[in-house]
């Protein structure tokens, strides 16, 4: 009983029960309708058969008179069948025919008798039968009754009613069984989902709601929730990694700040020494500010607060401005900056974010192209902007050492740096910001090698693929 009460609390079972009740009501109404229609059709068939007999007997009476009519009635009465024939005297005494006794008052009527009446047959006085008939009065005052027994139509009606009742019972039992099994199946699925939910609420975010593969509403809901759980798990893992990396990246500059201040205070420093110490502390503070600024920018972009500022943007102009801005920087680093930018390419975007993203990529390309390999005279950077099918591709390429292909997914995470010692300048947030910005614009970030033929200097190409403006 507890199981049944639990089933009745589920929406699916309640809907199934409602459909079952509607089905039973509809089927019952259909049963009565079909039964009534069949009875009406059989009654009409019987009445038409009586009319045909009446016309035939009238024809005989007009041709042969009363004597011929009596002979015809006697002959038809001896034939097997369900027809009734009676010639009765004016006072209702049966003169000829195949009926032994008839319900009183029948011969008091003329014309069609639409209500069934009772009669008895010869040789079977213990049983009563029902019939319909037509009564007419002859010129000599005698009564002529032509009728038809209703036993066969009644049996046919009863047969139809029993068949319909049996079909209704079978369908009702089948519907009840289907309702029960559907409800139990739905309850089992809900129990499995509840069990998985309890584990998830207990902290196991690796759990997923069961998907049966049927494509029903339970599967669609489970798929959506599993996607959400996967995203939550990914964010939690990212938060854990970010927390670890923040602790490491902030600990180092904060420790240097404290040590620098402590050593300066402990020594017999001059005003010049104090000034140098303050400048170092300002430099370390600026690095901390850059880290927090980058984190705030990424959070703002991922939260979508900058999405409302999207507008028509000349991406060609943004790319040219960024390349022009960094051309002197590239020359100072002995790096050749090459541009291949198509004109008048426009998108729906945020100029500030895309500009910052592009300058970050160019700055990184200059840093890694010139700083990792000594005595280079062929360090190059390419800034390209092309329209490809339904995509706008903005890319920055270099011919430096690049990034191992198995690290492509990892480097877009926050605070991930290939320099595990953290000795090189940087925050490990550059590509995280790039990835957040391109996703906010509905595009995708793609990393690839610039030249696979050069194993020592394969380079890195960062491609930003924006959706083409409609």
- 441 and 313 belong to one structural domain: yes
pLDDT, one tens digit per residue, over 344-396 is: 899 988 888 888 889 888 988 888 776 554 445 678 899 999 988 888 999 99
Q: Please, what is the average pLDDT of the chain?
A: 80
Sign of the dihedral defined by the CA atoms of residues 43, 48, 50, 51, in that order:
positive
- 262 and 322 belong to one structural domain: no
pLDDT exceeds 60 at position 19? yes
Between CA 85 and CA 283 the distance in angstroms is 127
Between CA 17 and CA 13 the distance in angstroms is 6
Q: Which of 303, 330, 350 is the last residue of a domain?
A: 303
State the pLDDT at residue 153: 82
Q: Which of 276, 303, 330 is the last residue of a domain?
A: 303
Which of residues 206 and 309 earns the better pLDDT score?
206
pLDDT exceeds 90 at position 160? no
Sequence length of the chain is 470
Q: Which domain holds residue 55?
A: 13-157
- 141 and 215 belong to one structural domain: no
| Mean pLDDT of all residues in 440-468 | 84
Query: Domain holding 136: CATH number?
Result: 3.30.450
Between CA 27 and CA 21 the distance in angstroms is 10
Q: pLDDT band at residue 233, thresholds of 50, 70 and 90? A: confident
Segment among 20-29, 43-52, 146-155 with least mean pLDDT: 20-29
> What's this model's pTM, rounded to 2 decimal places?
0.48
Q: pLDDT band at residue 65, thresholds of 50, 70 and 90? A: confident
Examine residue 409 and state whether it is found in any structural domain, yes or no.
Answer: yes
Instruction: Quote the tokens at residue 327.
Output: 């051309």
Domain count of the chain?
A: 3
- 327 and 439 belong to one structural domain: yes
State the pLDDT at residue 395: 93
| Mean pLDDT of all residues in 278-292 | 79
| Mean pLDDT of all residues in 334-348 | 90
pLDDT, one tens digit per residue, over 286-308 is: 877 877 776 676 666 666 655 44
Examine residue 436 and state whether it is found in any structural domain, yes or no.
Answer: yes
């Amino acid at each position: 009983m507890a199981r049944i009460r639990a089933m009745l609390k589920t929406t699916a079972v309640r809907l199934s029960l409602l459909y079952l009740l509607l089905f039973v009501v509809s089927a019952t109404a259909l049963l009565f309708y079909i039964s009534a229609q069949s009875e009406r059709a059989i009654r009409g068939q019987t009445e038409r058969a009586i009319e045909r007999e009446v016309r035939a007997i009238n024809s005989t009476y007009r041709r042969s008179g009363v004597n011929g009519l009596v002979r015809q009635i006697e002959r038809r009465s001896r034939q097997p069948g369900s027809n009734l024939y009676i010639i009765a005297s004016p006072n209702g005494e049966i003169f000829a025919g195949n009926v032994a006794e008839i319900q009183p008052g029948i011969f008091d009527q003329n014309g069609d008798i639409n209500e069934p009446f009772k009669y008895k047959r010869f040789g079977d006085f213990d049983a009563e039968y029902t019939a319909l008939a037509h009564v007419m009065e002859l010129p000599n005052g005698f009564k002529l009754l032509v009728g038809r027994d209703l036993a066969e139509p009644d049996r046919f009606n009863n047969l139809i009613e029993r068949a319909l009742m049996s079909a209704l019972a079978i369908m009702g039992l089948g519907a009840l069984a289907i309702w029960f099994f559907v409800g139990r199946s739905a309850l089992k699925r809900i129990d499995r989902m509840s069990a998985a939910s309890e584990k998830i609420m207990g902290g196991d975010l690796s759990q997923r709601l069961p998907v049966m593969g049927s494509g029903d509403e339970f599967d669609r809901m489970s798929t959506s929730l599993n996607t959400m759980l996967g995203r939550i798990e990914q964010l939690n893992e990212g938060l854990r990694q970010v927390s670890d990396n923040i602790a490491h990246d902030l600990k180092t500059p904060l420790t240097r700040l404290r040590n620098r201040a402590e050593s300066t205070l402990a020594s017999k420093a001059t005003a010049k020494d104090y000034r140098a110490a303050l400048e170092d502390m300002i430099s370390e503070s600026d690095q901390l500010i850059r880290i927090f600024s980058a984190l705030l920018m990424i959070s703002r972009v991922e939260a979508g607060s900058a999405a409302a500022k999207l507008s028509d943007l000349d991406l060609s102009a943004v790319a040219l401005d960024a390349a022009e801005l960094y051309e002197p920087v590239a020359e100072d680093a002995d790096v050749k900056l090459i541009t291949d930018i198509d004109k008048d390419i426009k998108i729906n975007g945020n100029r500030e974010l895309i500009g910052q993203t592009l300058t970050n990529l160019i700055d990184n390309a200059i840093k890694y192209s010139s700083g990792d390999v000594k005595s280079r005279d062929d360090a190059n950077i390419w800034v390209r902007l092309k329209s490809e099918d339904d995509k706008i591709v903005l890319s920055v390429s270099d011919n430096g050492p690049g990034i191992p292909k198995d690290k492509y997914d990892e480097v877009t995470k926050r605070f991930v740096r290939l320099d595990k010692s953290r000795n090189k300048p940087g925050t490990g947030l550059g590509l995280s910001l790039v990835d957040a910005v391109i996703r906010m614009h509905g595009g995708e970030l793609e990393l690839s090698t610039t030249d696979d033929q050069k194993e020592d200097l394969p380079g890195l190409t960062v491609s930003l693929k924006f959706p083409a403006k409609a």
